[in-house]
Structure 1
Amino acid sequence: MIAALLAVALIESSALAQPAAGQEGVRSSIGAEIRASVGGKLRDFYAPRGYWPLWVDGSRVGGQADALLDLIRTARADGLDPKDYDLRDLERVVEEANSGGGDPKLLARADLALSKSFSAIVRDMRRPSKRVKMRYLDPEVQPRDDDPAEILRAAAVAASFTDYVRQAGWMNPFYMQLRTARQGFAERWGNLPDVMVSAGAKLRPGVKGQAAVLLRRRLGLAEGGSYDKALAAKVRAFQADHGLKADGVAGAQTVEALNRPSGWYDRMLALNLDRARLLPGPWVRHVVVDAASARLWYFSNGRQDGTMKVVAGAPESQTPLMAGMIRYATLNPYWNVPSDLVQRKLSQRILNGASLSQLNYEALSDWGANARRLDETEIDWQAVADGRQQLRVRQLPGGANAMGKVKFMFPNDLGIYLHDTPSRDLLAKPARHFSNGCVRLEDAQRLGRWFFGKPLVAESGEPEQHVPLPQPVPVYLTYLTAVPIGQGVQFLPDVYGRDGV
């Protein structure tokens, strides 16, 4: 991932700014000190740049060091320990360097120490958690440990090194938003008393009685029996942070959120951070599909280019956690009907008098590339309905085809892909888990233009026209049950039962 980010940044970044004449001599002296003491993997970074310092601006350690120190101080949000990155020593060497009157030896020591700790925390932030099982289909998306030289080169060519460190530009934006939320949750809601709030009628400003007493206790307010302005303000703050409508009324959803067990939110945020850390940073051109929220995003050049609704797998036919490379589009696609649907639904329609041709389907002799088309009289539909015979059936291209006009393929043995859909009504639903595992797109044509840089148009009515992508694009199918929204986090239903918290 760092290598891909570096490639983009090298293309898009201007050359490193040339130092002022007075500063060049200072930096040359620092470079000489770095050359005399650098070793190991760090030398692979410093040597090609003439041992030029990375963290020094003029005769002082720059603001990028403050950004790194802040990142390390808050590393517990990543499930990491600040002590593992020599926090106290870093603070000391930076202070000594900045109070040393431009001493090249002190500045060189600080530069090397900062580079060492920076490459270590970047590596550890990106390292996958063992509790999240993502299936990787291609070597291009397989996680790997980037060496310190690659990590530092990517940082060195960032448009703003300070912003790159402060915003952790090597991580996916979802990760950083959830990380920020986890810090805020711990500060604002982590130490409140575990008090069960009465469920039932809505609690609103002006209400008095035991329910208001319990609500005040749960939110850490002074004892009292009324739903006053202070309580309403606290309820609104809680709602905003938890992705609920911030109206100051404690209805059923708000009370349910308040009554979750101690530590539930922190565990959920930690789990979803582990899922989000598997996603690449925004400089990598890629697509993310979140099955939990049934949404898709696509990124390139350091930004989010777009998003859209999708229909994801139903609980009984879940969209898997999977990463691969989208390699081609198929225009005018067939739909290979899943065997269970052929048995449960299609066979019943045929037995009730319909025909394959009327329904725009055809049956094939097997699942091979050279399968023969079967005449309908050859098929024992009762045997198919009883489960005694499996039959390959596919829907022909056309306006009613379940694949729509195009599907985007990242080859895998589960038959999962992204595709167009004529069933627009399902996209209007707030919960969109209806598919057999594949991902139905709200706007396949828009995504196709992003993939290919031009509209996707079939050359003829011929079925299954394959159009290779000029450059394959990574796609990540994930499952985020905590998603950033506004200034807070929305906690989504665990429709697949994967959270276990």
Structure 2
Amino acid sequence: MAARAQPVAPADAAKSSVALEIRAGVSGKLKEFYAPRGYWPLWVEKEAIGPQADALLALIASVDGDGLDPRDYDPRGLQRLIEEADASPSPKALARADLALSKAFAALVADMRRPARGMGMRYLDPEVEPRDPDPSDLLRAAAITPSLTDYIQTAGWMSPFYMRLRTARSDYQAKWGDLPHVSVPDGVKLRPGGRVPEIALLRHRLGLPDGTAYDKALVARVRSFQSDHGLTADGVAGAQTIIGLNRGAAYYERLLALNMERTRLLPGPWVRHVVVDAASARLWYYSKGALDGTMKVVAGAKDTQTPMMAGMIRYATLNPYWNIPPDLVQSRVAPKILNGASLKGLHYEALADWSANPAPLAQSAIDWGSVAAGRSEVRVRQLPGGDNAMGRVKFMFPNDLGIYLHDTPSRDLFAKPARHFSNGCVRLEDAQRLGRWFFGKQPVADGSAPEQHQPLPQPVPVFLTYLTAVPTAQGAQFLPDVYGRDGE
């Protein structure tokens, strides 16, 4: 007996008619998106243009905050096509609106994603290099999300850091941007209960009524300013608070704009990736549109900075060696040997060269005085074990600077609010948890052999960035420019 044909739902029948009209009218890059999906509409729901179109129009209206011009995306033309489709929802009218909305959406996403030049990011792999996205790829990514409306409202193609800084910048302008820009004399410490004349200037600068009282209202306003600018919120206008006030709102708005451009280089949360921020010394990892976890890290010191770079984490190394940098061999290892220590006792070994299979060197064969004086160099590495500076695992994204993410036995540094102590690599607060996320299970070494390499099931992009303005629940917090990069 032949199978009975299933009835076609009215909504699907209507969409089929729209698909026929799209097929007749689509061309170019849009066709590369529509054709594989049978020309099925993206913006039509229940025989009408869906709410995702309203979300797109609302986003277009706000893109001046992204340095873009809303008129470039023809919001009036889109609105007219939507109204025509609403008034007379013929397949032809719905198809015209669907194609126009897709074209505007793809153009907007491409423009929002396009990075500014001179941001200092170094790209190690072609997979992470910025490129002009194909409209069909942008539309395909949008079409597979659970809710296109939510995807547009959150701009899910942008990094969450970018979107939160975008909101914070708007909020900052509203909160602090229109206050009087008058200078408060430095060299004085203004505190509650004080009656000095400078308090009148402080009140005026913070938009409070005239007067000379350091009252509860002024304490609250000072605390709010301090909290929003990364200062200790004690309500006392000391040297750092007065410096911040005298910089003016324009300075901080430029800083927010600079950091937005840095975060524009980061992927959206639908891309499985890792972000390391050297300024705040934190790490985040994302997949499937959500934040999967975060942790503290120890980043490079001022003299040995963690660079801005992006690459692909391709494998983990279990039971790793630590190749000690030559400057540390000179300043730390050689003096210990000259004072009677042994390489074996330090759990180190010396090697003839930097090749993959170097010959070992006897301690006695090395002129340690020459090494300590900086006249010669020798390769020294720390053997695997509980005291190894790399801990039990390091995650590798090959680069010529020797930068990677790694475990560490030095746990005390994670308790510090400022964590800039490494030689450039990134020490992880919880390397085992990150390993489980990378592999889907805990990577385990096969015995005690050193340097066991395990490839990730899929390489994962990692972005090492530098954010001196970071989003918070209250807006944004400004961090010290430890590496001196903001002035660049």
TM-score for the superposition, normalised by structure 2: 0.92
Corresponding residue for 1:32?
20
Shift of residue 485, structure 1, vs aligned partner: 1.4
Corresponding residue for 1:176?
163
Corresponding residue for 1:427?
414
Aligned equivalents of 2:59, 2:213: Cα separation in 1:
42
Aligned equivalents of 1:386, 1:228: Cα separation in 2:
61
CA contact 1:309–1:441 (8 Å) conserved in 2: yes
Aligned equivalents of 1:234, 1:105: Cα separation in 2:
58
The yes-or-no answer on 1:84 pairing with 2:78 is no
CA contact 1:60–1:97 (8 Å) conserved in 2: yes
CA contact 2:167–2:475 (8 Å) conserved in 1: no
Shift of residue 433, structure 1, vs aligned partner: 0.8
- Pick aligned residue for 2:42 from 33, 41, 54: 54
Counterpart residue identity of residue 272, structure 1: N
Corresponding residue for 2:61?
73
Aligned equivalents of 1:106, 1:219: Cα separation in 2:
54
Corresponding residue for 2:455?
468
Shift of residue 247, structure 1, vs aligned partner: 6.1
Shift of residue 49, structure 1, vs aligned partner: 2.6
Corresponding residue for 1:477?
464
The yes-or-no answer on 1:451 pairing with 2:438 is yes
The yes-or-no answer on 1:121 pairing with 2:90 is no
Distance 1:221 1:22, change over 3 A: farther
Shift of residue 167, structure 1, vs aligned partner: 0.3
CA contact 2:171–2:475 (8 Å) conserved in 1: no
Shift of residue 308, structure 1, vs aligned partner: 1.0
Shift of residue 69, structure 1, vs aligned partner: 1.5
Aligned equivalents of 1:497, 1:334: Cα separation in 2:
32
CA contact 2:279–2:468 (8 Å) conserved in 1: yes
Shift of residue 138, structure 1, vs aligned partner: 1.5
Corresponding residue for 1:347?
334
Unmatched segments (≥5 aa) in structure 2? 1-5
Instruction: After superposition, give the CA deviation of every residue in 1:309-366 in whole Å (9 maximum; x if it has no partner).
Output: 1111111111111111111111111111111111122111212222212211111111
Aligned equivalents of 1:415, 1:498: Cα separation in 2:
21
Corresponding residue for 1:21?
9
The yes-or-no answer on 1:192 pairing with 2:169 is no
Aligned equivalents of 2:39, 2:216: Cα separation in 1:
61
Higher deviation after alignment, 104-113 or 475-484: 104-113
Instruction: After superposition, give the CA deviation of every residue in 1:438-467 in whole Å (9 maximum; x if it has no partner).
Output: 111111111112212222332222221222
CA contact 1:364–1:374 (8 Å) conserved in 2: yes
Matches within 5 A, 1:367-446: 367-446=354-433
Matches within 5 A, 1:351-366: 351-366=338-353
CA contact 1:243–1:488 (8 Å) conserved in 2: no
Counterpart residue identity of residue 110, structure 2: R
Shift of residue 251, structure 1, vs aligned partner: 4.8
Shift of residue 174, structure 1, vs aligned partner: 0.9
Counterpart residue identity of residue 216, structure 1: R
Shift of residue 109, structure 1, vs aligned partner: 2.5
Corresponding residue for 2:3?
none
Q: Which secondary structure state, in structure 1, belongs to the residue aligned with residue 295 of structure 2?
A: strand
Instruction: After superposition, give the CA deviation of every residue in 1:270-293 in whole Å (9 maximum; x if it has no partner).
Output: 111111111111122211111111
CA contact 1:79–1:270 (8 Å) conserved in 2: no
Aligned equivalents of 2:75, 2:462: Cα separation in 1:
36
Shift of residue 198, structure 1, vs aligned partner: 4.1
Corresponding residue for 1:320?
307
Shift of residue 255, structure 1, vs aligned partner: 3.3
Distance 1:473 1:71, change over 3 A: same
Distance 1:57 1:202, change over 3 A: farther
Aligned equivalents of 2:40, 2:193: Cα separation in 1:
66
Corresponding residue for 1:94?
82
Unmatched segments (≥5 aa) in structure 1? 1-17
Higher deviation after alignment, 145-154 or 29-38: 29-38
Distance 1:218 1:20, change over 3 A: farther
Aligned equivalents of 2:475, 2:432: Cα separation in 1:
32
Q: Percent identity?
A: 69
Aligned equivalents of 1:19, 1:250: Cα separation in 2:
74
Distance 1:466 1:25, change over 3 A: closer
The yes-or-no answer on 1:307 pairing with 2:294 is yes
Higher deviation after alignment, 259-268 or 371-380: 259-268
RMSD: 2.4
CA contact 1:128–1:143 (8 Å) conserved in 2: yes
Distance 1:104 1:220, change over 3 A: farther
Distance 1:44 1:403, change over 3 A: same
Distance 1:139 1:216, change over 3 A: same
CA contact 1:243–1:485 (8 Å) conserved in 2: no
